[in-house]
Amino acid sequence: MLADTARTVVRPWFRRGVDVQSKKDESPVTVADRSAERVMRAILAERVPDHGVFGEEFGQDNAGADYQWLLDPVDGTRAFVTGRPLFGTLIALFYKGEPIIGVLDQPVLRERWIGVKGRETQFASSLGGTARTRQNVLLGQAEMSCTSPEMLELAPHEGWKSLKQQARRMTWGGDCYAYGLLALGQIDLITECDMNPWDWGALVPIVQGAGGVMTAWDGSALRMNGDRTVLAAGSASLHGEAVKVLRACS
């Protein structure tokens, strides 16, 4: 219901010349972001009032609850405002700090990934396809991705440059949609930083349920108060190679 409702709110604003405002961190925000989060918050307040909610646009409510919903109504606002369908709505449910359910919805393409801890990821698209990562890919064969070079200016070290040099190819852009492509076996490796919990929370069950691995750069589990680095790989073996390279540069 949350994803369906957010889709109906966000989709009509796409390529409609919406007004773009800048938040305190200079990141863009539109009426689509704020409207979609308000609607999702209203649904959660009615259905699960004892749960916490942590959204990109309106902060955190009921922070002490074991169950926390993390919402990013338009992850990839820059893509959204420039008419590129490479953004998505992210919805995650955390239990005691661990993401257990994740949804990535692309409102324009009408594609949706659903991940549940311990289960196989489900993917729905008019184009078909199955959520399964590529296995047995060596680093030298890997298609690598990151949202932007500017993001990596805040990296704790420059190990990503070594990964970039060793990977087959580096592609920029994609935001959350790139993780959906990794879950489909189109991308093999994503290295990013400056990531908030609402940026990665929904993606962890999706990547894991498709056969991949998603951690911080040092290989540790992603945490709400972690170092904001994210490493996603299509297989455990590729993840191990990447962590080794990153650790060597730390």
User: Could you give the 3-state DSSP secondary structure of residue 229?
Assistant: coil
Give 175's DSSP letter.
H
CA angle 24, 26, 31 (to 5 degrees): 85
Q: Known binder of ligand: residue 72?
A: yes
Q: What is the pLDDT of residue 133?
A: 98
Q: Known binder of ligand: residue 33?
A: no
Reading phi first (left if > 0) and then psi (alpha if -120 to 50, else beta), residue 226 is in beta
Residue of 36, 48, 51, 38 lying closest to 6 (CA atoms) = 36
Q: What is the pLDDT of residue 76?
A: 92
Q: What is the rounded distance in angstroms from the CA atom of residue 156 to the CA atom of residue 150?
A: 13
Residue of 98, 78, 93, 112 lying closest to 3 (CA atoms) = 112
Residue spans in the chain of domains classed CATH 3.30.540.10? 2-124
Q: Known binder of ligand: residue 199?
A: yes
Q: Identify the architecture of domain 2-124 in CATH.
A: 2-Layer Sandwich (3.30)
Q: Known binder of ligand: residue 188?
A: no
Residue spans in the chain of domains classed CATH 3.40.190.80? 139-248
Q: Tokens for 28?
A: 């863009």
**3.50.50.60, 3.90.950.10, 3.40.50.720, 3.40.190.80: which CATH number matches 139-248?**
3.40.190.80
Residue of 247, 147, 245, 165 lying closest to 203 (CA atoms) = 147
Q: Tokens for 177?
A: 């949609």
Q: Tokens for 181?
A: 């492509």
Q: What is the rounded distance in angstroms from the CA atom of residue 45 to the CA atom of residue 245?
A: 45
Complete DSSP assignment for 41-78: HHHHHHH-TTSEEEETTTEEESTT-SEEEEEEEEE-HH
Name the residue type at position 89. Answer: T
- C-beta of residue 92 within 8 angstroms of C-beta of residue 101: yes
- C-beta of residue 240 within 8 angstroms of C-beta of residue 218: no
pLDDT along the chain (250 residues), means of 10: 93 83 66 90 96 92 96 93 94 97 97 98 94 97 96 92 96 96 98 96 98 98 95 98 93
